[in-house]
Structure 1
Amino acid sequence: MAPVAIGEWMASACIAKMVSKVCSYLEDQYEYQRDDAKDKLTKLKNNLWKIPFVLDKASSLQTKDPSMKSWQGSIKDAAYQAVDVLDLFDYRFFEAKAEDIEKVLAESSDYATVNSSSSATTNTTASTSSSSTVKRSVRVLKRVLFSDEDLNKLIAILEKFDKISSEMQTFLELVNPRNKKPGKALQWRRTTSMLGTTRLIGRGDEETQLKKLLEQTNDWCRKPYSVIAIVGVAGVGKTALLQRVYSHFRDIGHFDIMAWLYVSEKFGVKRLTKEMVQSQKCRRHKRKRGGTSRVSWDGSISADLNSISNLDLVQRILEKKLNGSKVLVVLDDVWNEMSSKWETLCKPLQFASMGSKVVLTTRSEKVAKINGATEIIHLDGLKGKEYLDHFQQCAFDNATPSDFPRLVQIGEQLAMKLAGSPLAAKTVGAELKLKLQEDHWKAVLQLKLWQIEQTADDIMPALRLSYEHLPDHLKQCFVYFALFPKNYQHRDDVLIQMWRAHGYIQKETSDENAYRYINDLLQLSFIKKAANLDNHYVVHDLLHDLAESISNGEHFRIEDDFHVSIPRNVRHLYVNASNISKVCMSLVESQEGLAESPDLKKNLRSLIICKHHAPGERIPPDNFNDVLKETLHDLRSLRVLVLQHPDGILPDNIEHLVHLRYLDISESKIFTSIPKSLFRLYHLQGFILQSYCQHNLGKELQKHISRLTAEPVKILSPIQKSRHQNDR
């Protein structure tokens, strides 16, 4: 599956804001620089705008051509480097400002000590003097902020973007839609009310619940109809459940008019209204003596309907048809988030009789509520034997499972990886039934779901569609889940701090608005609340597979024995503490590799070192901390650092981690003092440490951090133990 597009992982607006800030810094410095430096500053101010421009253009390119993907990859690398360099300018400013303010505060403290017995007037004078000194010192900062090395780094980045910009026109021509033949719209997902030949398994409770809701007449409702929604992730069986219930009510003739409308991404009010006009009416035949009553359905298709372009006229026709009838309307696969469209579609339904129902299926609870749902059925994956029976039906086809006992065992292991998804079972089963042989099934077992070859109507493309409907700011937040193991319980405030650290949430965004990111992902069925644990969330298993496929190696985990190669494009790494030395060696080898190989140490932006769980095996603290110190030495692009090893301790010299925003050392049991270098991390935004350390060192932390960092640091309470219970 293609990696995430450029516009989805780095907002050009964010880059533009950084460029604007750096241009302001450079302009402030201009008059204080020597002539050769002024030439550099002029070049920078005139060309920095190319960075967001190139990123914005590149984000619009959609292609499967390998050479194009490679070119887009080079843009992505250059963009990350640009962020680091631009961010470094910000750091230099805060560094000089903090040092100057510290000097002023020290002088003010000496002044106050000498004059401690003076009058209130004298103290006021000292305070005014101190304030003036601070203001003067900040003005002086503009003369000393940036070295030639800083300017040269920025110029080197600009040269990369100059080259990319010069290639841009050629690539835009290659992917220009005018140069391509128009293709047919993919219609594989269009559904009807008819049941297929596949035997439907399970869903008895949900079927009973839905039937009961459809039979109810809600006398309290002001409208003659009520809206029911079936909500769940792609491929969980929403449509199959509804088809079974729809067929039941069609057979018994409970409703006078029934209409099955496939909606999908285009919520065309006129099209859907016309299809309701064309729906069938129920005819109930009286019971003959000694016989049974019979129900039949007659179509009432208007020959002139397709020629009518006036929505008002179509709705008037539907009004006459619905007048006094009890109606069931199914809207399958709804994505509409415009309440005005929904209200317009439903206007004719006010002329139906009481007890009418509208049932919609959607992947999003938010969509369900926008489209008027008052009752919501949440559909999860099939469980236990029901799912295993469905999986075997898909994998063995017409063969008898009992004839292949070894394959049944392998199939049970495979089924456990599919989160109860009927469509995932169909996807994997289609591959398995090609060869009912043990070696083939074992090979499939070793693959991740997204590594299995799939067609457009399989599970991963269906899930990918959900991802593509996410707003860009949520896409990059969602893909970050690929860094963590499945079933990892994410605490909401920690998750927000990590997203902030990478710029997915801007630092000026309030906490209230930041929490909406989590709520939106929850409403859109990408995450769910963790069981029995407040303020914690878990990613749906199959959507975790999707995040991994989109990440394409940028988010990588080493959970067990070190038997994998770290991808060359990795930027976020989750590693078991027992493997940290091997990771360190791998990072060093990348530095010593071929010239064209990426330097993994310079690229890494997240490092999460999880606890080691092997019983009876303990890593000597000295060994671990020596390796940790060596590993951190060159990780100058880190934004997130999590150390969950109980014997781990931060090295004294961590001031080189100039980009670090989030630090978690809550699991360290030997952390008793704060390295002074911590107070030189001027970009630090979030910090977690052990509770007893937080109590003992809290005053010192608050004193130094509030004085020396760019903004107030949020010191979070220690992580609950249960957060790690699913770490592997």
Structure 2
Amino acid sequence: MVVVGELGVGVSVMGWFLAPHITKLMEIARECAASKCMLYGDSTEMLQKLADDLYDIKWHLDPDSTDFVNDQGKLDRLWRLKDDVHRVEEILDLFQLEIHDIETTGNYITRNKKRLHGKKVELSRQLVKVLKNLDETRDRARELRHGAGPSMSPKAETGQHTMRDKRSFFGYQDEYAQLVSMLWPQQNGHKLVKVDAKARRVIAIVGHAGMGKTELARQVFRDAKGKFDLCIWVHAYGKNKELDLLKEIWRSADRPVGDMNVSSLQKKMENLLASKRCLLVLDDVWNHELATNEEEREQASLALESIMSFAQGGSRIVMTTRAKICSVTFKAAASIILNGIKPKEMTLLLNHTAKLRTDGTIDNDDKKIQQLVNKQVSKMKGSPLAAVEIGHELRKQTTVDKRCDILHNVEHHLDTVLQAHLFTYRHLLPRLQRCFEFCSIFPYNWRFEAEKLTKMWIAHGFVEEDAQQEGRSMEDVATDYFHSLVDRSLFQEEGGEPAGGNGTTYVIHEQVHWMIRMASTKNCISISGTAVRSIPPTVRHLSVTSSSLDQLKAYPKIIVLSNMRTLLVLQSNHGDDDDDDSTSSTPLISTVDRVLQLTRVYSNCSRA
């Protein structure tokens, strides 16, 4: 039996990553149509129509076209195709499973004829529904080929101006001091410590979404006025080519761009920067995911080489980015990693944003709010953006009860933070999306080992079928996938040291982990604690703590377990679970049609 790997659609894929998967689904649809043991009514004709519709969708995707990459409307429709095609895969998967079961057991001849008839009818009913939805899918694919108006806003542009003054900038004082020490001379007692004009010309500020990279850069940019001859702030998102970045730098210097090429821009830049000590801030730098080779990926960095060759010694470039790989691409000599501010600083920032009273004039209601703030601030995981977002929500409320409600349910009021992390996820290539969303079934703060995790990816078909080109093994390619996620700051080496070495374990920041759980709710579910959680019929990868196994008994196997590939059983922490005997999971094995992996580990050991 062929099991098709899960489909994902990326928003930046050269040659349409979907096309080969659709080709595979067409083949499976025709194979199922040729089978005689699971057809009912017009199933043969419907399966043939399914294959034909898939062919039309593939044709509209146009694998040779990449003009969609900068069209946000097309990118939005491409993203929505993921779920549409996934439903096709699900129905074909069910057909394959039943055909395989009947052919190997002979049930279609000897027994269970009533059950078999019922399944045929149910599959035919689902097939009719899929075909109906596929008509809309074909329309979306047609819009991708022929154009459609934008339905998704481009990423908001960041600016140099900050709403916070020096007194309201909380946290990262050490990081601020480290950064400015590399930019301009510092007074150390009666001695002025000069800056090496040639060293550390490019400095990267690296951190997850919402960690305060832009705000730190803004504070430094503001304080740099008068210390450099020229300060330029550039919103660098999407500027992946030398010409694009040069134009954006020129525009940000309040100069008209017009119709200029690289050569003419370089001459203009040379005249502008000659004999000037310059500070250039590139905010929100992203990896060029469409690049097919290193030379193409480094295109934008050529613009920086021009800038630094024209500017006077002592000029500096500061870049903010979510991905460590960008600091390498732009040849940063130093990186400042932001992992979040301390709880006390988070509290100060939240209080300042919400304008909460903390002085001697506070009453009992103020004390109640402040106690809740102190208790709940840890749930924001050191993210300044989270503190600001909750602060703004509190500021809108006029009653104590409403403010308390927000603080009791912090996770439900962090939509801006969630969307920022989702933007990172959607920027990934599809193969990395599938691998990363699989990690959502593991508990928060799980310690991942690259070798074990990549073997799971291979077993589930997440690694490309043509991965063994040029003599490379599937294991090598899967390891590259993992390190690509590390390079994009989605995995962090435990302890914060540089990645590498044997026996290294990695963790996912809790807010990022929360985001991929939100992004993968149809495919990946993690169940723990006593709260009953709904399980969608599409779930493929499920983890459950031993104390929560009883929750699965409430769901019929045909709804919950028919599509599962993974069942991960985690032993609950001692004290939370009186039953540490894994035999409680044994009845589940017999109700699962296929399980690639059944694992029993201790959640408090956090190692897999």
* TM > 0.5 fold call: yes
Which residue number in structure 2 is paired with residue 427 of structure 1?
A: 389
Partner of 1:557, secondary structure, is strand
Aligned residue identity for 2:284: D
| Cα distance between partner residues in 2 of 1:55 and 1:502 | 24
2:503 to 534, 538, 541: 534
Q: 1:164 to 1:205 in 2, by over 3 A?
A: same
Residue 353 (structure 1) aligned with residue 312 (structure 2): yes
Aligned residue identity for 2:277: K
Which residue number in structure 2 is paired with residue 394 of structure 1?
A: 353
Residue 264 (structure 1) aligned with residue 237 (structure 2): yes
2:479 to 506, 510, 515: 515
Which residue number in structure 1 is paired with residue 203 of structure 2?
A: 228
Instruction: Spell out the pairing of 1:184-583 with structure 2 (5 A cutoff).
Output: 186=154, 188-193=156-161, 196-197=164-165, 199-215=168-184, 217-218=195-196, 226-250=201-225, 253-267=226-240, 269-270=242-243, 272-273=245-246, 276=249, 305-337=256-288, 338-396=297-355, 402-403=362-363, 404-435=366-397, 437-447=399-409, 449=411, 451-452=412-413, 454=415, 458-506=416-464, 509=467, 510-531=474-495, 534-552=503-521, 554-583=523-552
Aligned residue identity for 2:460: H
Give ranges in structure 1 of 5+ residues lacking alignment.
Answer: 97-148, 281-300, 592-598, 645-720
| Cα distance between partner residues in 2 of 1:506 and 1:274 | 37
Displacement, 1:71? 10
Aligned residue identity for 2:23: A
Deviation sequence 1:231-258 (CA, Å, 0-9, x none): 11111111111222222221xx332222
| Cα distance between partner residues in 1 of 2:131 and 2:29 | 18
1:234, 1:463 within 8 Å by CA — same for their partners in 2?
yes
1:257, 1:279 within 8 Å by CA — same for their partners in 2?
no
Partner of 2:462, secondary structure, is coil
| Cα distance between partner residues in 2 of 1:170 and 1:276 | 40
Deviation sequence 1:580-614 (CA, Å, 0-9, x none): 2332x2123x75xxxxxxx1121333221111334
Displacement, 1:210? 0.8
| Cα distance between partner residues in 1 of 2:250 and 2:537 | 58
Partner of 1:360, secondary structure, is strand
Displacement, 1:5? 9.2
Deviation sequence 1:170-195 (CA, Å, 0-9, x none): 56689999675x57955743211556
1:86, 1:154 within 8 Å by CA — same for their partners in 2?
no
| Cα distance between partner residues in 1 of 2:372 and 2:130 | 51
| Cα distance between partner residues in 1 of 2:128 and 2:213 | 53
Q: 1:500 to 1:358 in 2, by over 3 A?
A: same
Displacement, 1:474? 0.9
Displacement, 1:317? 2.0
Displacement, 1:308? 4.8
Q: 1:432 to 1:507 in 2, by over 3 A?
A: same
Which residue number in structure 2 is paired with residue 641 of structure 1?
A: 598
| Cα distance between partner residues in 1 of 2:505 and 2:138 | 47
Q: 1:472 to 1:402 in 2, by over 3 A?
A: farther
1:323, 1:351 within 8 Å by CA — same for their partners in 2?
yes
| Cα distance between partner residues in 2 of 1:178 and 1:416 | 46
Partner of 2:561, secondary structure, is helix
| Cα distance between partner residues in 2 of 1:726 and 1:88 | 37
Aligned residue identity for 2:571: K
1:326, 1:356 within 8 Å by CA — same for their partners in 2?
yes
What is the TM-score of this pair, normalised by structure 2? Answer: 0.74
Aligned residue identity for 1:82: L
| Cα distance between partner residues in 1 of 2:55 and 2:121 | 17
| Cα distance between partner residues in 1 of 2:489 and 2:51 | 40
Aligned residue identity for 2:482: I
Deviation sequence 1:444-487 (CA, Å, 0-9, x none): 345463x3374xxx322222221121111111222222222211
Displacement, 1:619? 2.9
Q: Which moved more, 1:391-400 or 1:604-613?
A: 391-400
Which residue number in structure 2 is paired with residue 290 of structure 1?
A: none
Aligned residue identity for 2:426: E
Q: 1:485 to 1:219 in 2, by over 3 A?
A: same
Which residue number in structure 1 is paired with residue 293 of structure 2?
A: none
Paired positions, count: 541
Partner of 1:358, secondary structure, is strand
Deviation sequence 1:545-602 (CA, Å, 0-9, x none): 211221235422221124444345433322221232332x2123x75xxxxxxx1121
Displacement, 1:383? 1.4
| Cα distance between partner residues in 1 of 2:233 and 2:176 | 18
1:501, 1:640 within 8 Å by CA — same for their partners in 2?
no
Q: 1:569 to 1:436 in 2, by over 3 A?
A: farther
1:78, 1:160 within 8 Å by CA — same for their partners in 2?
no
Displacement, 1:439? 3.5
| Cα distance between partner residues in 2 of 1:48 and 1:185 | 34
| Cα distance between partner residues in 2 of 1:323 and 1:174 | 49
Partner of 1:608, secondary structure, is strand
Q: 1:398 to 1:220 in 2, by over 3 A?
A: same
2:213, 2:338 within 8 Å by CA — same for their partners in 1?
yes
Deviation sequence 1:93-117 (CA, Å, 0-9, x none): 9x89xxxxxxxxxxxxxxxxxxxxx
Partner of 1:439, secondary structure, is helix
| Cα distance between partner residues in 2 of 1:331 and 1:544 | 28
Partner of 2:182, secondary structure, is helix
Residue 586 (structure 1) aligned with residue 554 (structure 2): yes
2:376, 2:407 within 8 Å by CA — same for their partners in 1?
yes
Displacement, 1:391? 2.3
Give ranges in structure 2 of 5+ residues lacking alignment.
Answer: 1-5, 12-16, 63-67, 106-115, 185-193, 289-296, 468-473, 497-501
Which residue number in structure 2 is paired with residue 612 of structure 1?
A: 572
Displacement, 1:277? 5.1
Aligned residue identity for 2:547: S
| Cα distance between partner residues in 2 of 1:481 and 1:48 | 32
| Cα distance between partner residues in 2 of 1:70 and 1:207 | 41
Displacement, 1:341? 2.6
2:278, 2:315 within 8 Å by CA — same for their partners in 1?
yes
Displacement, 1:158? 6.7
What is the TM-score of this pair, normalised by structure 1? Answer: 0.63
RMSD: 4.6
Deviation sequence 1:148-168 (CA, Å, 0-9, x none): x89979995876654444454
| Cα distance between partner residues in 1 of 2:121 and 2:8 | 23
Aligned residue identity for 2:393: E
Larger Rg: 1
Which residue number in structure 2 is paired with residue 695 of structure 1?
A: none
| Cα distance between partner residues in 2 of 1:260 and 1:374 | 20
1:227, 1:373 within 8 Å by CA — same for their partners in 2?
yes
1:22, 1:89 within 8 Å by CA — same for their partners in 2?
no
